[in-house]
Amino acid sequence: MSVRRRVVLAVIIVLTIAIDQGTKAMARASLKNAFPRHYAGVLTLLYTENPGAFLSIGSNLPANVRHVVFDGLVSIGLLAAAFVLFTGRMQPGPDDVAIAFIIGGGVGNLVDRFRLGGRVTDFIYLEAGPLHTGVFNIADMAITGGVLWLALTWAVASLRRKTES
């Protein structure tokens, strides 16, 4: 992997963290003690602190288990992903960009966990008729987007291999 490619991936990670932390700081400053703000009937901004993972998964686990899983195991996973990404163990291409977004989002949420006693700032809620999300943040969007990106590229590659056989 070229130095230029590594720089691009590092910039994606740093920008993802910066945008995530910047929007969370704005949410804490303007939404923490305020009523939810509704926009265009679809977007609601409201402040929550989530002790679990995306969409509060694991929020009911004991605090020590959450600490091991969400701080310890996630940190190890992010370090492993960064090692693979930056040591050239991946082919340059779309998948390395997806991994960069996942790392950036994961680090963004880890920063919150370390700063806020194991909780993550969430503030975005979407609702369109019967469809709605839980409350999430920019880091969650980066992680989810990266995972979906990987799933899609791997599914397409798998289909191509099957059709070529």
- Catalytically annotated residues: 122, 140
Long-range CB pairs of 83-88 (<8 Å, 24+ gap) are 85/9, 86/1, 86/6, 86/9, 86/10, 88/1
**CA dist., res. 83 & res. 142, Å (int):** 19
120-128 β-sheet, strand order: 37-39, 43-50, 120-128, 131-132
Judged by DSSP in three states, 74 sits in: helix
For residue 47, give every residue at least 6 positions away whose Cβ sits within 8 Å of its Cβ, in sequence order, or none. Answer: 27, 28, 31, 32, 33, 34, 121, 122, 123
DSSP letter at 114? H
